[in-house]
Amino acid sequence: MLYIVATPIGNIQEITYRAVETLKSVDVILCEDTRHSRILLSHYDIKKPLISYQKFNEREKCESIITMLKEGKNVALISDAGMPLISDPGATVVKEAQKQGLEYTVISGPCACINAVVLSSLDTSRFCMVGFLPDKDGERKKTLELFKDLQATLVFYSPPHDIDKDLKTLYENLGARKVAVVREISKMYEQVCVGNLGEELVFMRKGEFVIVVEGARPKSESLSELTVQEHIRHYLGLGKTEKEAIKAVASDRNVAKSIIYAEAIRMKENKE
């Protein structure tokens, strides 16, 4: 049996009893970084042979793993944190196990995507896990073209060295949508920063990040057919302050607040 085992994404105590028992019972454990995984395994007194299983050697290791399964061995697959296969290695061996009719199952546990969506305060009724953005600008744009009209919350993973670049790319391609930047999930310095893309977001640039972005709005709900000044008046008429109206219009139109603010100033000048 191949066991796909979720491991803590932050707090080392966030692991299920079944996951610990499974890791103690298998013959071998596949992991991304053996040094990293030993910290968790030592904490729970788990002493099993470890095999490095990373994205760059997935295909190379797949055949030997399938052979172990055919020989009747129990194998656990873990990643450095969270659920294997979700922006982590594992897909190759699972596909091959399924293809060859070998047994495999998932041992439930934490996943950064789910935690971040819940923490974001954005719509949880439907969401789409996009994962890491490609490195090249052209590929980034193509990727976001696929998702920009999706009426579902979008979830992106981002390493600390790319967080500002990723936020800039999302703003340029998706507009001034609501966004939550979530870092260090379940750790001591967990942080959730909520705002709009294109705004200055204040958070520590350390740790692993999940960016949760508001989905596209139904066209029937759009007020974009109004002029910007009519749009501002619409919200002022609903009792919003000028500041609140500007923020709401910027969000509706997916543009920077500075653009709407300039229109609000012109609207005041024309009145005078």
Which tens digit of pLDDT belongs to each residue from 5-51?
A: 999 999 999 999 999 999 999 999 999 999 999 999 999 999 999 99
pLDDT bin (cut points 50, 70, 90) of residue 222 is low
Higher pLDDT, 94 or 239: 94
225 pLDDT more than 80? no
User: What pLDDT does residue 252 have?
Assistant: 80
User: What pLDDT does residue 190 have?
Assistant: 94
Three-class DSSP labels, the chain: CEEEECECCCCCCCCCHHHHHHHHHCCEEEECCHHHHHHHHHHCCCCCCEEECCHHHHHHHHHHHHHHHHCCCCEEECCCCECCCCCCCCHHHHHHHHHCCCCEEEECCCCHHHHHHHHHCCCCCCEEEEEECCCCHHHHHHHHHHHCCCCCEEEEEECCCCHHHHHHHHHHHHCCCEEEEEECCCCCCCEEEEEECCCCCCCCCCCCEEEEECCCCCHHHCCCCCCHHHHHHHHHHCCCCHHHHHHHHHHHHCCCHHHHHHHHHHHHHHHC
User: What pLDDT does residue 221 have?
Assistant: 57
Average pLDDT in the 171-197 region? 92
**Domain 2-107, architecture per CATH:** 3-Layer(aba) Sandwich (3.40)
Whole-prediction pTM value?
A: 0.78
Instruction: Please check whether the two domains, 2-107 and 112-216, share a CATH topology.
Output: no
Topology of domain 112-216, CATH: 3.30.950
pLDDT bin (cut points 50, 70, 90) of residue 166 is very high
The domain spans of the chain are 2-107, 112-216, 220-271
User: What pLDDT does residue 255 have?
Assistant: 86
User: What pLDDT does residue 220 have?
Assistant: 47
200 pLDDT more than 60? yes
Average pLDDT in the 87-96 region? 93
> What percent of the chain has a predicted confidence (pLDDT) above 90?
68
User: What pLDDT does residue 69 have?
Assistant: 97
230 pLDDT more than 90? no
User: What pLDDT does residue 47 have?
Assistant: 95
CB atoms within 10 A of CB 172: 14
